[in-house]
Copies of this chain bind each other. A is one copy, B any other.
Amino acid sequence: MAYVDRGFNSGGGRISPTSAEFARAGIQNDCTLRPARHPQHSVLFYEGDKAERVYELDEGVVMLFKLLPDGRRQVVEILNAGSVFGLSAGEVYDCSAESLTPVKVSTLDRNSLETSPSLQRHVTRCLLSQLETLHDHAVLLGRKSAMERVSTFLMRLVPNRGGFGCVGPTEEAGEDSRSVTLHMTRQEIADYLGLTIETVSRVISEMKRKGLICIDRQDQIRIVNICRVCQMTGMH
């Protein structure tokens, strides 16, 4: 899938700061919990970096991704406010983290992570929800068609519909049409859904043609008929 990775050198050629640079900038010392802000397309850490901090996302959206040596990319997680990330089983991060929007992140203290039961419960809850999301995503990547993948992706963006609780064909009027913001380019969506950019584009066009969705703006999609889209996810 040899393409030039935009994420790594976005914004006019400058390579995004490494976590080493963040550390140098003195954003915080080890045992504090001071929030930091980063603009869109900031790389918070790279796969293989020494895993020395654990983050909690306060605002914004972050994606975690992995690269193969030949440049193929897979986005493995999309994280929203409340998510804990950067915890690693080994010495180094197993994937890279990049902000999809401007973000506010806190650093969690490694020591209290080990000792505070309430913080541990919080972390466990986060990890469990990530695990379940990844299980769902494995089904998507391993078994779903392009149309099903894109439909699933759109439904996940609808608040309170992450679990796709489709209430039925006759629902409160107006509730059937919802607008969602992607926060992602077509390339990022493709790398998340295990497709090519062209296939994503084609599927979105087809959904538009069928009147299922409207493209208000490039990254703003209005789902005209939630229930119809919901039924195309392969889960109903």
Contacts and interface: CB of A to CB of B under 8 A. Distances in A.
A133 to B, nearest CB: 9
A236 interface: yes
Interface string A100-133: 0000000000000011110011011101111110
Contacts of A5: 89
A178 B111 CA distance: 41
Given A68-B234, A76-B139, A134-B134, 6 more contacts: A69-B236, A74-B138, A88-B128, A94-B135, A95-B135, A141-B141
Interface of A: 1-2, 4-5, 64, 66, 68-70, 72-74, 76-77, 87-91, 94-95, 114-117, 120-121, 123-125, 127-132, 134-139, 141-144, 191, 193-194, 234-236
A33 B193 CA distance: 41
Contacts of A194: 141-143
A-B pairs, 10 with minimum CB distance: A142-B194, A141-B141, A89-B128, A4-B90, A134-B134, A120-B120, A74-B139, A89-B129, A74-B142, A127-B127
Contacts of A193: 142
A66 to B, nearest CB: 5
Contacts of A120: 117, 120-121, 124
8 contacts: A1-B143, A66-B135, A74-B139, A74-B142, A95-B135, A115-B117, A130-B131, A138-B141
Among A73, A132, A236, chain B packs the most CB atoms within 10 A around the CB of A132
A69 B141 contact: no
A5 to B, nearest CB: 7
Nearest to A70: B234
A128 to B, nearest CB: 4
Contacts of A69: 234-236
A38 B147 CA distance: 40
Contact of A131 (B121, B131, B144): B131
